Amino acid sequence: MKKILVAGAGGFIGGHLVGSLISQGHSVKAVDKKPLENWYQIHQNAENLVLDLNDLNNCRTSADGTDIVYNLAADMGGMGFIEAHKAECMLSVLINTHLLMAAREKNIERFFFSSSACVYSALKQTRTDIVPLKEEDAYPAMPEDGYGWEKLFSERMCRHFREDFGLKTRVARFHNVYGPYGTYDGGREKAPAAICRKVVQAKIGGGKNIDIWGDGHQTRSFMYIDDCVKGTQMVLNEDSIEPINLGSEEMVSINQLVDMVEEIAGIKLNRNHDLTAPQGVRGRSSDNTMMREIYGWEPTHTLMSGLEKTYQWIFDEISSGKKSF
């Protein structure tokens, strides 16, 4: 069993990863800058630390005595957040840079960096019927402004720490992860959670309408959290050294996503399309060829099955009066 640092453990993916690692018998040091009461999940069997990992000394403290680092820490959210907070998103480069420096100093065995599909060139994502994105499509570079540039730069930092210093770095590009125990309001939520929240509110409050950002024809693929956590650990533990896609190939339009949540809820709403709202690229989906060939990994959750679990959790949260951080 290993002593493992999960950076960003108070976040959505980080909380699920900590739980998975503990269930396997690992000793986990969980670190996030948010106050503990704002963590999405708190695992009592972990060593839970509140530290700002923008600071190099805090990264040294966090990495000390550990064997493996998972870096999931970043200042980010859905499209509404990252389009309005480009500088804040780019400042996350300090987290990965300082964690890499600390990992080298502490002789960490392996280092995982969570990148994003936002690294892919905008020129490859101009149509709703997009060809699924291959890993090579990140170059020539034209990533999402702010957040995407930070992720692409940090990927290169991982590569050069591996080449120059021998640190075993691994990188996966996450494609739209969703599921329970994440944010569903407040401005940082992503499309599946936002749509579930709006449908839940209409269901509970007797509403007849739903607001949708854009014309609803923009396309995406969405990966359920359990598949993400499993794939993340596979990438960390194996020997593929290049950034690799971790996502679903089940592409849908936003209108189709709304259809599915309405079906789960058993209601039908009138749609108000806000063409002035942030929309991101026109189309995006993952090509999982490398994950299949190298790891034999495929998502086990269909979008509908994952949405059913996500919707029920958000319904329970809202109906019980809890708040989303």
CB neighbours of 272 closer than 8 A, spacing ≥ 6? 209, 210, 211, 212
CA distance 146 to 88: 8
Find the DSSP H helices in 85-190.
86-90, 93-105, 147-165
From 40, 70, 120, 147, active-site residue: 147
Q: Which residues, 6 or more positions from 2, have their beta carbon under 8 angstroms from its beta carbon?
A: 26, 27, 66, 67, 68, 109
Give 80's DSSP letter.
H
- Taking the C-alpha atoms of residue 108 and residue 75, their distance in angstroms, rounded to an integer, is 24
DSSP category for residue 242: S
Query: Cβ(62)–Cβ(51) under 8 Å?
Result: yes
The span from the CA of 137 to the CA of 324, in Å, is 35
SS3 174: strand
Annotated catalytic residue 184: no
Decide if 114 contacts 71 (C-beta within 8 A): yes
Q: Write the Ramachandran bin of 103: left for phi over 0, alpha for psi from -120 to 50, otherwise beta.
A: alpha
Measured CA to CA, the distance from residue 284 to residue 120 in angstroms comes to: 9
Catalytic residues: 147
